[in-house]
Amino acid sequence: MDAKVAIDLHIHSTLSPCGAEEMLPPQVLLTAERRGIAVVGIVDHCCARNAWAFMEAAPAFEVRVFVGLEVESAENVHLLALFDSVAAAMEMDRIVSEHLPPLKNRADLFGRQILVDEWGESIGVDDRLLITATDLSVERVAGLTHELGGMSIAAHVDRSANGLLRILGFVPPKLQVDVFEISASLSVPAALARYPDLLGRPLITAGDAHCLADIGRAVTTISRDLAEAQVDAAEWGRRLAEEVGGGA
């Protein structure tokens, strides 16, 4: 029988204003490794400028890394866009940046947005307001992710803040995401009981970690074969959806 391993596809870095300053590449990846997490997704709000640092650091750890963004749609819904290359993540970053309002971050209110290198050394800050909505629809965010060869995940769909089902109340029929993420505060059976729209859809859980203590607080288990499959992010997302099935 194929061994099972844990994944956590929703982890923030110091570039997220709500992310702790300890969320640096070596610390994040070492924490994941020590907690037996085989695959991680590193995302920051509407930005992927720390993606390269995590990819550079990744070979030193026994953790597979996908990088990308947590994009806020025009409807105030969060979606994860995850990629297996820095180039693809940065192209998504470029597109998303064109659809952000021209506002400056208030570090005193929201927190600093720190850029780091692979060693975790600070190399600057991003002074744009990143924790805000784009003018892209949920369908367009998911579509762009797939066009660029990534996997699309509807983030914490059950959460009152920026969750698909709590904001819209339903799953748009044209929304093409690979999987739906349940927040750490709710189990999959409880989510299915509360939100009938999730029945028959591929579901995962993830930590939405903003500090080291939260890495792996909610995980999904998958086959080791999938964790190690040498395929791009789009195909990996498709296989993930197949493996987790209908959330039953």
- Residue 1: per-residue pLDDT: 46
Estimate to the nearest angstrom the gap between the alpha carbon of 199 and the chain centroid.
22
Is 60 exceeded by the pLDDT of residue 247? no
| pLDDT tens sequence across 131-184 | 999 999 999 999 999 999 999 999 999 999 999 999 999 999 999 999 999 999
The first and second tokens of residue 142, run together, are: 């998911």
CATH class of 4-244: alpha beta
Q: Which residues contact 40 (CB under 8 A, 6 or more apart)?
A: 7, 8, 9, 11, 28, 29, 32, 63, 64, 65, 66, 215
- Of 235, 179, 173, give the one whose Cα is nearest residue 10: 179
DSSP state of 115: E
pTM across the whole model:
0.96
Q: What is the mean pLDDT of residues 53-73?
A: 98
What confidence score (pLDDT) does residue 245 get? 85
- Residue 190 CB partners (closer than 8 Å, separation 6+): none
